[in-house]
Homo-oligomer: A and B are copies of this chain.
Amino acid sequence: MATRKRGEAGDKGTAAILPRRGKKVSSDQIVESILSAVAEHRLPPGTKLGEEHLGEIFGVSRTVIRQALVRLANDRIITLEPNRGAFVAQPTVQEARDVFEARRVIESAVVARLVKAVEPAQLAELRRLIEREDEARAAGDRRALVKLSGEFHLLIAEMAGNGTLTAMLRELVLRSSLVIMLYEIGNRPACPPTEHRELVDAIAARDATAACRIMSEHLGHVEESLNLIDEEPALPDLRSVFVELAR
């Protein structure tokens, strides 16, 4: 536990680290790993992220972990409670609704922009992604499905070519992932499977009005499929569970 050289991280069974060639800053890898875990619903909201613990997992000191946590907190993926630590964020119902509204605003605009300048190769790429979604759905791989669905929305933004809007949407998609983990009802499928396809069809037809409408409705459907009523859902839930056991 004394001195720890870099590079030992991989030994510790942390599968999620994508070993980018040394160019990137080390805290980037940690941020990416945690974001990836959120996107794949492997990291439930409310989970405590202890600094020392993460440091052991990634094979770096708390200094680097701290940088990563500060960045994640800045994007509202985690919350930093002073003197208590870092926890995976638990968006409130209000925040959840705000996130979806923001997504409708941004993604409608992004789709409209893409319709104007979409190229056949891009349509093919979108359709390829949809096929991978179908495969994941067929295989019953919910984690892959939810991640691919997010990537689909993000890919549209990237293709639209506004880096600022894309960066913002990336944050929103990740927060959506937290929202879905918190508020989804049972095992209902998050994204209706046909709508992505319809959206690409509308884009291919250069029908901006229809594409915007489908995107907006699609996000509305996802939001409606959630249990966004104004009551405290998660940590209180755990707490009440323990109260039950303690009786």
Nearest B-chain residue to A175, judged by Cβ: B164
Q: Are B74 and A165 in contact (CB under 8 A)?
A: no
Residues of B within 8 A of A25 (CB): 82
Stretch of A65-73, A146-154, A220-228 that contacts chain B: A65-73
Q: By the criterion of a CB under 8 Å from any partner CB, how many residues of chain A are at the interface?
A: 27
A106 to chain B, nearest CB (A): 6
Q: Are A105 and B106 in contact (CB under 8 A)?
A: yes
CA distance A76 to B165 in the complex (A): 13
Q: Are B98 and A109 in contact (CB under 8 A)?
A: no
Select which of B105, B163, B167, B168 is within 8 A of A109 by beta carbon: B105
Residues of B within 8 A of A162 (CB): 98, 101-102
A145 proximal to B (CB < 8 A): no
Query: Residue among A27, A98, A164 with the most chain B CB within 10 A?
Result: A164
Residues of B within 8 A of A70 (CB): 27, 67, 70-71
A156 proximal to B (CB < 8 A): no
Q: Interface digits, A1-37 against B, CB 8 Å rule (1 contact, 0 not)?
A: 0000000000000000000000001010000000000
Select which of B71, B95, B164 is within 8 A of A74 by beta carbon: B71
Q: Interface digits, A108-142 against B, CB 8 Å rule (1 contact, 0 not)?
A: 01000000000000000000000000000000000
Nearest B-chain residue to A73, judged by Cβ: B71
A75 proximal to B (CB < 8 A): yes
CA distance A162 to B162 in the complex (A): 22
Residues of B within 8 A of A203 (CB): none
A201 to chain B, nearest CB (A): 24
A72 to chain B, nearest CB (A): 9
CA distance A76 to B162 in the complex (A): 15
Residues of B within 8 A of A27 (CB): 70
A159 to chain B, nearest CB (A): 14
Which A residues lie at the B interface, using CB under 8 A?
A: 25, 27, 66-67, 70-71, 74-76, 82, 94-95, 98-99, 101-102, 105-106, 109, 162-165, 167-168, 172, 175
Q: List 6 A-B contacts (CB under 8 A).
A: A70-B70, A76-B167, A94-B163, A95-B164, A102-B164, A105-B165
Nearest first, the 3 A-B pairs at minimum CB distance are A105-B109, A98-B164, A102-B164
